[in-house]
Amino acid sequence: MALTKTELKELRKLLEAKHAELVDRVDRSIVAGTRVDDRTFPDSMDAATRVQEEDELIDLASRVRTIVEEIARSPSSTRVRTASASRASVRRRW
């Protein structure tokens, strides 16, 4: 089944239109994938702020750890632990 000259011209127009659409879509994809804008790179101030916040959180965690250690070494907590240990040893004897 052969196509007429008119049908061949129409098919050629359709194929050229589809080709142009695909080339345009590829070009847009390439541009979108390789575009460099302000959102691509972090702002130096944002990075500095993030580092400062991380340092503050690390410092806070260190201070909390120190306070917990001081509480654990305090005489009142020693008494509580001693009393608990005494109760436990009394229970084991019976």
What is the residue-level pLDDT of the chain in tens, covering all 94 positions?
688 889 888 888 999 999 999 988 888 887 776 666 656 566 677 778 888 998 898 888 888 888 888 877 877 655 555 555 555 555 554 4
Residue labelled with tokens 């436990």: 88
Judge if 53 and 13 occupy the same domain: no
Tokens representing 23 are 């080339």
- Cα distance between residue 94 and residue 90, in whole Å: 7
Whether 39 is in a domain gets the answer: no
- Could you give the number of structural domains in the chain? 2
Residue labelled with tokens 């340092």: 55
Range of the domain at 77: 49-94
Q: What is the pLDDT of residue 19?
A: 92
Tokens representing 7 are 């049908």
Contacts of 71 (CB under 8 A, 6+ apart): 77
